[in-house]
Every structure is written in C-alpha cells, then in structure tokens.
Structure 1
Amino acid sequence: MSHPACTLDFPMLDDGPALFDWGLACSVGSGGVELDLIEAHKWFNLAALAGDERGAEWRADIAATLSRADIREAQRRARLVLQ
C-alpha cells in the first residue's frame, strides 16, 4: 500500500533530483516519510526516466530486495503517475 507521506508535495516529473530525493526518503524512512521500498522503487524509476543516473542505480539496488510482485506493483504505480 502506498503511504500518503510518499506522495505529498509531488515534484515535477522532469525534476530528476527531486524525484530521486523522494525515492531516498521512502527508501530509508527519513524526513517524516515512512519506509516503503515499493514507493522508493517507483520514485527512483521516475528519477531515472527524468535523467537522474542515481535513480537507475538505486532502483536496481532496491529491486534486488523486492519480490517480482513488488517490482510489478512499483512499476504500475510509476505508470499511474505518468498518465
């Protein structure tokens, strides 16, 4: 389930560093954001799509810890954001 704290103050989709920061916050549970690796994968994926190379690297690291079902869910959530 998506934690609301990971979706507040939505960054612009072309702002790779801001998208990466959201992924980082969700991946470690910092800044009042709950730890949520599926959301972290989603944000890192969006950061990578926006050109932030760190997003692709961190997405791969997170993916190594997730089940296939969790990765599919993260990808589904990213697609929803892009619609």
Structure 2
Amino acid sequence: MGHSISTQQFLADSRLRDAVSGNTDACFDLGICYSAGTDGYGLDLIEAHKWFNIAAVKGDRRAGECRAEVSQNMTAREIAEAQRQARALLTSRQSPTAW
C-alpha cells in the first residue's frame, strides 16, 4: 500500500530537514532516493552524489561506495558541481558539531 501525497511530502520534508541538520542516515537516504528517483524525488545524480558525499564525509562507508557507483554515470562537470554543492552545504553550517 502506498503513501498518500501529503504523507509522502511530509516524509520527504522530514528526511530533508534531518539531512540538513546533519543526520548521516538521512543524508544517505536522500542519496538513495535521488539516485533511484524514488519516494517523490526525481532522478538527479548531482543531488545523489552530493548527499552521498556528505554522508561519506561523516563516516558512512556505504555512502562512499554509492557515490563511486553514481559517479560512473556522471560527467566530470556534474561531479564537480555535486562536490561544490556538498562543500557549500558543509561549510554553511555554523556549528561543526552539527555535522
């Protein structure tokens, strides 16, 4: 049984909020969603790479493996953009302990 659109949106918003707050599992989950185009997220390899990169930086070994796999289907420019976005998000956080 699927989720209603409002429930799906709530789950998506919650996952994003948790990821931006520094929750490693939520970052990994976003990477999975964007890499597969599931759970209301469109297929977006730049976003997938970005979230896998953040999770990997935070120590999630699975994320590093997924990031490498996603990279195989990306151009060098797309990878550079994903890295730029991840770096910007990581450096925008005021408290280093949040990440």
Normalising by structure 1, we get a TM-score of: 0.84
Unmatched segments (≥5 aa) in structure 2: 1-11, 92-99
Cα distance in 1 for residues equivalent to 2:30 and 2:61: 15
1:60 equivalent among 60, 63, 68: 68
Unmatched segments (≥5 aa) in structure 1: none
Q: Does the alignment pair 1:31 with 2:39?
A: yes
Structure with the bigger percentage of helix:
2
What's the counterpart of residue 29 of structure 2?
21
> Partner amino acid for 1:35?
L
Percent of residue pairs bearing the same amino acid type: 46
Per-residue CA deviation, residues 19-71 of structure 1 (Å, 9 max, x unaligned), is 10010001011111111001000000001011111100000001111100000
The structural deviation recorded for 1:18 is 1.3
Secondary structure of residue in 2 paired with 1:31: coil
Q: Greater RCO between the two (CA within 8 Å, min separation 6)?
A: 1
Secondary structure of residue in 1 paired with 2:40: coil
Cα distance in 1 for residues equivalent to 2:70 and 2:78: 10
Aligned length: 78
> C-alpha root-mean-square deviation of aligned residues, in Å?
1.9
